[in-house]
Amino acid sequence: MRIIELDAGSWTTSRDVLRALHDAIGTPDLQDWNIDVLIDAIVGDAHPPCTIRISGVAKADAPVKANLKALASTLRDVGRWRRNHRYGAVDVTIIIVP
C-alpha cells in the first residue's frame, strides 16, 4: 500500500491544499484545479490502494481545515456512490491528524 504523508501546518489557502496533493500524487498539471478535479485525480492517479495522511492540520488556517474536511467527505461519498453503482471501491483513504 502506498502511503503519502503531508504536513498542513504551513498551508494558508485552499490552493495550498490542492498544490500539495497534486505534487504528492503526481497528477497532470491542470489550470482549473478544484475539489472535483482533485477527487478524479486521487481516484485515478494515486495508485490505489493508498492512504493520504495529512498532519499539522491544527496549525492550518480555517479555510484549509474546511477544505480538507470537504475533501475527505467528498471522497467517502464518491466511494459510496461507486460501490452502490458497482464501479468498485475507491481504495484511497484520507486521514486527517490534528
Rounded to the nearest integer, the mean pLDDT of the chain is 84
Q: CA–CA separation, 87 vs 31, rounded Å? A: 28
Instruction: Read off the pLDDT of residues 58-75 as tens digits, 9 standing for 90 and up.
Output: 999 898 999 899 888 888
Q: Which residues contact 83 (CB under 8 A, 6 or more apart)?
A: 89
Architecture of the domain spanning 2-96: 2-Layer Sandwich (3.30)
Q: CA–CA separation, 75 vs 42, rounded Å? A: 9
Q: CA–CA separation, 66 vs 24, rounded Å? A: 20
Q: What is the DSSP letter of 47?
A: -
- Label residue 47 by pLDDT band (50, 70, 90): low
Domain boundaries, the chain: 2-96
pTM as predicted: 0.81
Which residues face 54 on adjacent strands? 6, 96
- Label residue 3 by pLDDT band (50, 70, 90): very high
Share of the chain above pLDDT 70, in %: 91
